[in-house]
Amino acid sequence: MVTKITDGDTIIVQGGEIVRFLGVDCDEKGRECYNEAKNFTDFSLLNKEVILKSESEDTDKYGRNLRWIFLDGENFNQMLVEKGYCIARFDQNSKYKNEVVNAENYAIENKVGCKWKDKI
């Protein structure tokens, strides 16, 4: 269960595990889309049961667990990108890379969300 939202792409789950979302990068505090991304993640995930899926890269340099978040069978990381709250970001090959990149292309082409709505 998600017990706290740190920002748009980081949560804390029951037991205190800090989880950073794989394949996405949301704005940091003080940046353009920070509040919208955090609010969407908060509204969508707080106090909800989620499924966490890992890949070969298990933790980041800050010790956060890197995971794909699934809510009701849907890839939440991909949803954040498709709704224009953040960008796709990959340092390695990933099981869901194609889906997330396609979601980003959709958001860009359709000027979806705070990342793309005002872009030419």
Q: What are phi and psi of 80, to 5 degrees?
A: -60, -40
Q: What is the mean pLDDT of each run of 10 residues along the chain (120 residues)?
A: 98 98 97 96 99 94 97 98 97 91 97 85
User: Which CATH number is correct for 2-116, 3.30.300.30, 1.10.1040.10, 2.40.50.90, 3.90.1150.10?
Assistant: 2.40.50.90
- Where residue 79 falls (left for φ over 0; alpha for ψ -120 to 50; beta otherwise) is alpha
Output the pLDDT for position 120: 56
For the chain, how many residues are written?
120
- Where residue 72 falls (left for φ over 0; alpha for ψ -120 to 50; beta otherwise) is left
Taking the C-alpha atoms of residue 3 and residue 61, their distance in angstroms, rounded to an integer, is 23
Output the pLDDT for position 118: 78
